[in-house]
Amino acid sequence: ETGVTQTPRHLVMGMTNKKSLKCEQHLGHNAMYWYKQSAKKPLELMFVYNFKEQTENNSVPSRFSPECPNSSHLFLHLHTLQPEDSALYLCASSQRGLAGVPRPDNEQFFGPGTRLTVL
């Protein structure tokens, strides 16, 4: 247990469906992240939230829509996805300095991921 939980663990959806992924961290961290992990590719950072504000959007298509209602919860809303969006979606959290700058001890802790399959 890393202190970061994700639901659901597995999701199968059609291209016209709308679904949401949920992440919750119990570590008191102030930054949360969404990553995409595809087969044979390095982890790809998608979004970063510092103190509930989105600070990074790594050219992610608009069919992925993040939401961070508070520092403990992070959502990823999905709509009209494509089969190539099938992947493991990982959430992570860390503690950042007041200016949002990484600190030496701000290792990221990952959740178990949601395995998404788009048909």
Partner 1 sequence: GQQLNQSPQSMFIQEGEDVSMNCTSSSIFNTWLWYKQDPGEGPVLLIALYKAGELTSNGRLTAQFGITRKDSFLNISASIPSDVGIYFCAGQGNMLTFGGGTRLMVKP
2: left (phi > 0), else alpha (psi -120 to 50), else beta?
A: alpha
Cα atoms in the 13 Å half-sphere on the side-chain side of 28: 0
Closest CB to partner 1 among residues 75, 109: 109
Q: Closer CB to partner 1, residue 54 or residue 82?
A: 54
Q: Is 92 in the site for partner 1 (CB under 8 A)?
A: yes
Residue 113 near residue 6 (C-beta atoms within 8 A): yes
Task: Considering only residues 38 through 77, tell me which ones interact with partner 1, judged by CB under 8 A.
Answer: 41-43, 45, 48, 56
Rounded-to-integer distance, Cα 46 and Cα 44, Å:
6
Nearer to partner 1, 8 or 102 (CB): 102
In this structure, the number of other CB atoms found within 10 A of the CB of residue 7 comes to: 13
Told to check if 105 binds partner 1 by CB under 8 A, we report: yes
CA distances from 67 to 14, 38, 40, 81 (A): 22, 22, 28, 17
Choice between 13 and 45, CB closer to partner 1: 45
Among the listed ranges 12-20, 37-45, 60-68, 75-83, the one in contact with partner 1 (CB under 8 A) is: 37-45
- Does 90 bind partner 1 (CB under 8 A)? Our answer is yes
Contacts to partner 1 by CB under 8 A? 2, 4, 6, 41-43, 45, 48, 56, 90-92, 101-102, 104-113, 115
